[in-house]
A = this chain, B = another copy of it.
Amino acid sequence: MNISEVARRTDLPPKTIRYYEEIGLIRPARDTNGYRAFADGDVHKLAFLGRARALGFSIEDCRTLLALYEDDARASADVKRVAQDHLDRIEEKLAQLRSMRDTLTHLVHECAGDNRPDCPILQDLARD
């Protein structure tokens, strides 16, 4: 299976697939002509990676999760810890973004948005 077919099946760009090989997440075989020859297992791994990335896991987290996935002797506690840590970081990010949003919503609401120069947004940014 060539890369564009795998890209279609996994909904990952070919560039991303090459990148994942470059950093050692997958190791597709090669045809005699140098083309990557993907097996079903490669496609499966890529789909796994795509879903993990869609959940916001970092590449290093993905590497860990993939290793756990392939380790029959894993403890689910190890998987759970990775997910929980990630979840904690997401909660932090959410709190940060909510705070930004609240401030911005307030400021945008206060601003007349007309052709006069007076602007509470700039006033806030320039406050002493």
With a cutoff of 8 Å between Cβ atoms, the chain B residues found around residue A73 in the complex are 117
A116 contacts B by Cβ under 8 Å? yes
With a cutoff of 8 Å between Cβ atoms, the chain B residues found around residue A118 in the complex are 76
Is B55 within 8 A of A122, CB to CB? no
Q: Which of A80, A83, A125 has the most CB of B within 10 A?
A: A125
Measured CA separation A76–B124 after assembly (Å): 13
With a cutoff of 8 Å between Cβ atoms, the chain B residues found around residue A105 in the complex are 87
Q: Which residue in B44, B79, B114 is a CB contact (below 8 Å) of A119?
A: B79
A75 contacts B by Cβ under 8 Å? yes
| Interface bits A95-119 vs B (CB < 8 Å: 1, else 0) | 0011011011101100111111111
